[in-house]
Homo-oligomer: A and B are copies of this chain.
Amino acid sequence: MAQDMLLLWGSGSPPCWRVMITLEEKNLQGYNQKLLSFEKGEHKSKEVMDINPRGQLPAFKCGDNILNESCAACMFLESQFKSQGNKLTPDCPNELALMYQRVMEGIELNLKSGLVIYYNYKVPENERHDTAVKRNREALTTEVKLWEGYLEKVKGDFLAGNTFTLADVCVYPSISYLFRFGLCEERYPKLAAYYHRLKSRPSIKASWPPHWLESSQGQDMLKGI
């Protein structure tokens, strides 16, 4: 089945990473894949646009099905390969509810990170405002504190409880991203512990963004969050 799949991806992109973690967890190694460069604008290339008309990565084909939305891809793969590799949905209804809630909240975390990290990239120079930057940073701080609180309260090592689920698949890349961009480990000890704890999980290790391996140091953009 893996040979019927094609993933076009960018290094470090949380949405791409989610799909790659799921493919690893489901023992779907050997899928066709191609690493593209955001810097070179390859996410706007015809190759990508033919699969993903929004010109975003991932662009993912699973047989004849196109699943460019990363969380959709993860949920679909889990549903189609339920008993292959690791089960990523808990049986316990309480954990399942928490899983769905965290998966969807993860999108909010990613959006708010993006508004801070990519402000200068996304907003033309003459439209930039210090007040907006301040507001975005405050919103991200509130958001990150929520997640620190979630990890304080949860019973278990993972976002939805005792097992690794789609919540971890979908949110771990976003949390790693925060630390890569300088989030203070001392200020967010539960998030930092979670980040380090899952680093060695085989699916995560195997799909670690290659350019993060080349330089362990990211930017300090989120130091003050």
Asked if A129 meets B131 with Cβ closer than 8 Å, knowing A69-B105, A146-B53, the reply is no
Q: Please pick, from B66, B72, B100, B146, the residue contacting A72 in the complex, using a CB distance under 8 A.
A: B100
Q: Chain A interface (Cβ within 8 Å of chain B)?
A: 53-54, 62, 64-73, 75-76, 79-80, 93-94, 96-98, 100-101, 103-105, 107-108, 111, 124, 126-127, 129, 131-132, 146
A101–B72 Cα distance when bound, in Å, is: 5
Asked if A93 meets B69 with Cβ closer than 8 Å, knowing A107-B107, A127-B132, A131-B127, the reply is no
A76/B96 in contact, CB under 8 A: yes
A103/B53 in contact, CB under 8 A: no
Identical copies in the complex: 2
B127/A97 in contact, CB under 8 A: no
B71/A104 in contact, CB under 8 A: yes
Chain B residues in 8 Å Cβ range of A93: 65, 80
Interface of A is mostly: helix
A71–B126 Cα distance when bound, in Å, is: 37
B146/A98 in contact, CB under 8 A: no
Q: Give the Cβ gap from A145 to chain B, nearest Cβ, in Å.
A: 10
What 10 pairs across the A-B complex have the smallest Cβ distances? A69-B104, A65-B97, A72-B100, A72-B104, A72-B101, A127-B129, A76-B100, A76-B97, A75-B100, A67-B101
Q: Give the Cβ gap from A106 to chain B, nearest Cβ, in Å.
A: 9
